[in-house]
Structure 1
Amino acid sequence: MFKIMKEDIEVVFEQDPAARTYLEVILTYSGLHAIWSHRFAHSFYKRKLFFIARVISQISRFFTGIEIHPGAKIGKRFFIDHGMGVVIGETCEIGDNVTVFQGVTLGGTGKEKGKRHPTVKDNALIATGAKVLGSITIGENSKVGAGAVVLQDVPPNSTVVGIKGRIVVKDGIRVKDFNHTDLPDPIADRLKELEAEINKLKRELTELRNERSNMNANSNF
């Protein structure tokens, strides 16, 4: 246990240039506190002491702003940068040397039973605000970009961005026909559809008014 705790501290110094001293990291890093609380809660969860495990989890959530279900399986050297708003579901499986940033959700879609949360393999990185949903796998050494919504498996050594998540780099090679200035934007697409519908209605209304004017003019004769 102490060896794992030491590794948890060491990865903070490796990943965060703002970390200065061991005392500072131990006392002020909420991500570290959340991980340690989870390891404690998970030990009770494995013994089927579910209520105690959930109480520890909720206390940790209150103090850190990070919600990790006690059933989640987390490997060594897991690093949560800042961490506020991070949510990790019950059946998540996280490998070694994984990094997640604030606002990340590793959640379910509400439809599955059993294994319903993501599996994140070794050395993966999940950037700020990304949502990884469902019983899918993020491969080794893969990266999920900030704000991405990932609903399908991500192969190893890949980079995924956008809504819905799209692979832009695989095995160190940029995927063809991808333009970073042309990321999927469902809100803009829907607004364009609404604008087109409004313009169509305007044209139809103009045609009806013209027909009515012609009918009135003919009736005057």
Structure 2
Amino acid sequence: MADGVRPMLMRLRRNGVHVGVFLLGAWAWAGGLLPGLLEQWDDIAFLGWQHVELVALSGGAAILVGVPLGILFTRPRFRRAGDIALQVLNVGATIPTLAVLALSMGLLGIGNGSAIFALFVASLLPIVANTMAGLRAVPPPLLEAARGMGLSTRHTLFQVELPNSLFVIYTGIRTALAINVGTVPLAFLIGGGGLGELIFTGIALNELGIMLAGAIPTALLAVLVDFIMAQLQFWTIPRGVNPLR
């Protein structure tokens, strides 16, 4: 009987989701929200692409720098420097992102360069911290077994340490990209472009439609980026050390 109930519950759940999406769409259309978004479609497409570029450049740079930096700080030669760096990162994480943007504008001026640098700094902190935390959490017996099997330091890193810490590293990357996507609208304040132009224009003009034309795509982009990273996390982590599989 349980075998027959479960498919029925799953069908009801799917139908409930479909009905909910339909009702939400009907409410949005009746309230004039969707027509207003369609009127802003050209601006949404143009500014949305700017938004994606800022996320890709700053987030990609943060990943390329943050993961190797986190690995470096966990090596025995740099362990003391890693402890100091971790404390600095914890303090840096408390600095408001808007303050980071303002400091970046003061150093590099107004424009995309300062916005990308500020977003890079804001995204770097969780990546480095999680990389260090993941590598330091690898069970010591695994490292001793690797050394007992004659693996070199480099092979131990790539065959034992990184596979066992990838889940935590991915978590840091997902957190960093979520912060990045949500912070990019603030980059408009220092000439960085992106969907923040619609959000702040709507706030200034007290136009809900214009504001939502920037806020809704930003929220959808954050969900999409996190979904993509979740799929990468699921499929690229080896099955034996992946708690999701």
* TM-score, structure 2 as length reference: 0.23
Greater percentage in strand: 1
Computing the radius of gyration over CA atoms, which structure comes out larger, 1 or 2?
Answer: 1
- TM-score, normalisation: structure 1: 0.24
- Higher helix proportion (structure 1 or 2): 2
